[in-house]
Amino acid sequence: MRELIVIVLLSSAVAASGCGGTAGDSTEVPQPNDGAAAWSVAIEPLSAPSGPNSSGPRLTASDRGIILSWVERTGAMAHLKFAERTSSGWSEPTTVASGSNWFLSYADPPTVLRRPGGELVASWLISTNPLYEGNDLQISHSQDNGKTWSRPLVPHHDGTEQQHAFASFFELPGNGLGVSWLDGRDTQPSEANPNGGPMALRYAVYDAEWTRTAEGVVDEQACECCSTMAATTSEGVLIAFRDRSDKEIRDIAVTRFEGGQWTEAMTVFNDNWEVYGCPVNGPALSARGRQAAVAWFTVKNDQGQAYAALSNDAGRTWGAPVRLDDAVSLGRVAVEVLDDGSAVATWVEYSDGRSQLRMRRVEASGARSEAVSVADGIEGGSASGFPRLARHEDELVFAWTESAVEDESSEPLLTVHTAVARLPN
């Protein structure tokens, strides 16, 4: 994460960029087809279960419902907590783990998820080398709904104090669990390579007894600090990530797990975004059956923009991108596939002098509904992190962090907020 960039809103004309800016024109994108996707939902606030100084929300969904996880800080200690969505709100919080040596990133907070059989899995990062922003990925599991947790395991064993972060989990046949992560074992500078090598996307697979059965490289050169995301289609696992070419083109790509191997990464759309530094703005991915949707952030003509694209063949091909924002976007996207093959996506947009969390439905035809405001006044800086979206049955759940400064001498006070919306029939 040595190139991690804090994106700052400079004006309504320039929403975001990497450390070196952009170069070159992007492939032309079809204009949005408004009005053909009449759709609207009512956003209802939902009291969050998190305490003071909370941030880094994550939402994961299973057949049993939605889990919200977050981090609370007390002094030097960080605490990973989670709660489950109930008919009356959120359950009482459960603490998974705590530590004073955690590596905490607004773009890559810890997470808690539930597997199909009911087992809970949690992950977080331990700091190993502040100079290199090195960290180790910790994975723990619970068979008793979070009352007790296993001793954490580490999926990588290269022994370097480099980055091992931005994990994504995916289910495999036979109750296997896979995990992918950005792996920086080759990035440390040396006499032979003063600039260091590339960041890779690696993976490992565990069986039902948590024995590692496979490991390897998914992609040899990925963007250094953009989140990754995995989703399971009816024809296998997809992973979306921000790729990186030798010419510093950092567009969104996907790879599929077929026959025990990862396919060659395929770009979803050639934005041709040339940026000399990581934009810290990864893709979102969702799948149901053969339907899949990916959302992402890019910069065109010095303006941040957010897009989504749909696939009806399990991610083998992708339709034309549909622009999500109406003005200027900060990205920080999320997406969920709906039953009819359309998708609902969220993003952070800068409009009317403030940042807003917005949502709309998009179709493969390019049709898009009117934008719905989920939350106003979302802070544009890194403190607010990434808003989240999850779906269970006919309910959409949203989570985000808001920051407030009590006075000029104090640090921002962070609090997690949640809201819900019912999908129309």
**Residue ranges of domains in the chain:** 33-422
pLDDT at 400: 96
Q: Is 80 exceeded by the pLDDT of residue 32? A: no
Closest CA to 358 of 367, 347, 369, 342: 347
Contacts of 56 (CB under 8 A, 6+ apart): 70, 71, 104, 106, 109, 110, 385, 401, 416
Tell me which of 327 and 15 has the higher pLDDT: 327
13-23: pLDDT as tens digits: 333 434 334 43
Mean pLDDT calculated for residue range 340-345: 97
Mean pLDDT of the chain: 90
In this prediction, residue 16 carries a pLDDT of: 40
Q: Which residues face 334 on adjacent strands? A: 346
In terms of Cβ atoms closer than 10 Å to its own Cβ (0-12, 13-18, 19+), residue 361 is: buried
- Looking at domain 33-422, its CATH class is mainly beta
For tokens 């059965």, name the residue. 213
Please give the model's pTM, rounded to 2 decimal places: 0.91
Residue 8 pLDDT more than 60? no
Q: How far apart are CA 286 and CA 337, in angstroms?
A: 6
Q: Give tens-digit pLDDT for 149-194.
A: 999 999 999 999 999 999 999 999 999 999 999 999 999 888 888 8
pLDDT the model gives residue 159: 94
55-76 average pLDDT score: 97
User: pLDDT tier at 132 (50, 70, 90 boundaries)?
Assistant: confident
Average pLDDT of span 14-41: 55
Our measurement of the distance from residue 420's CA atom to the centroid of its chain's CA atoms, rounded to an integer in Å, reads 19
Stretch 297-317: mean pLDDT: 97
CA distances from 362 to 34, 264, 365, 369 (A): 10, 28, 8, 7
| pLDDT more than 70, % of the chain | 89
Average pLDDT, stretch 357-375?
Answer: 95
Beta-strand pair 33-34/367-368: parallel
pLDDT range class, residue 3, cuts 50, 70, 90 = very low
Residues 309 and 268: beta-carbon distance below 8 Å: yes
When pLDDT is cut at 50, 70 and 90, the band that residue 269 belongs to is very high
Q: Output the pLDDT for position 380.
A: 56
Q: Over range 129-135, report the average pLDDT.
A: 91
Contact between residue 400 and residue 383 where contact means Cβ atoms under 8 Å apart: no
Residue-level pLDDT at 28: 63
pLDDT tens digits, one per residue of 198-207: 999 999 999 9
